[in-house]
Amino acid sequence: MNNSRSLTLALYLGGVLACGPALAEGDPQAGQTKALPCMGCHGIPGYSNVYPTYHVPKLAGQYREYIVAALLAYKSGQRDHKTMIAQASTLSDADMQDIAAYFAAMSHEGK
Amino acid sequence: MNEQHIGWTLAAAALTLAMAAPAQAAGDPARGKAKSEACVACHGVDGNGASAAFPRLAGQHASYLAHSLLAYTTGERTNVIMQGFAATLSKQDRADLAAWYASQKGLGTAREQR
């Protein structure tokens, strides 16, 4: 292989490897589609549960790791909320990572 | 209106006003900030976090925060760390802390990103 081909191959492999870790932490773009069912409650400003009456929590800018932990807790039943358990039960680990990355990456006002 | 009607009318008015009273004790952000010293280590000075393992609280809905603290107290929500902290809180404490974090800039309502 001559030098320019080697360089091209090195750059290509480098690019593939560089993408790897980012995807393992969740892909916000894939998350946008997967999070559409979430927006029905979490995407409406000031939305509340019917009973007990409290606001559906804001998610834009929430930490990715925390969202994943919460979804896992709902899926396992460790955390109790009928709608969230139903939602989380449909999600694979990869789905949770992507959805969490999507919300974490959203513009928000905090630091 | 005769005397009997006036009595019933006043009773009905009083009952209506009583039912209109807020269900939660009103929270004061300044009091909440003073009570939040124990929270800083995990949740940061203003609730914007010290570690991604612990949720960002800044800007969250006060009613959700107060409900979460109550859930830790009743055991509806389990977490060894939070249950310990929540057990020390009164209803007023929960309302104040919730009001403090709600008043800070942080979380937003999710919006479709284009």
Each residue's pLDDT tens digit, A17-76: 555 445 568 999 999 999 999 999 999 998 998 777 899 999 999 999 999 999 999 999
Q: With contact defined as beta carbons under 8 Å apart, do A1 and A9 qualify?
A: yes
pLDDT digits (tens, 9 = 90+) for A89-102: 999 999 999 999 99
The structure tokens listed for A5 are 């081909």
Chain A nearest-CA distance from B10, in A, is: 30
Q: How far apart are CA B98 and CA A88, in angstroms?
A: 26
pTM: 0.78
Q: With contact defined as beta carbons under 8 Å apart, do B72 and B79 qualify?
A: yes
Per DSSP, the residues of B18-45 read HHTS-SSPPP-HHHHHHHTGGGHHHH-T
Nearest in space to B91 (alpha carbons), one of B31, B16, B12: B31
Query: Residue-wise pLDDT tens for chain B (114 aa)?
Result: 567 778 777 776 666 655 544 445 689 999 999 999 999 999 999 999 888 889 999 999 999 999 999 999 999 999 999 999 999 999 999 999 999 999 999 999 998 765
Q: With contact defined as beta carbons under 8 Å apart, do A7 and B75 qualify?
A: no
Size of interface A-B (CB pairs under 8 A): 107
Of all residues in chain B, the one with the smallest CA distance to A53 is B63
Q: How far apart are CA B72 and CA B81, in angstroms?
A: 10
Q: Across-strand partners of A48?
A: A55
* Chain A residues with beta carbon closer than 8 angstroms to that of B107: 57-62, 108-110
pLDDT at A21: 47
Of all residues in chain A, the one with the smallest CA distance to B51 is A63
Of all residues in chain B, the one with the smallest CA distance to A66 is B53
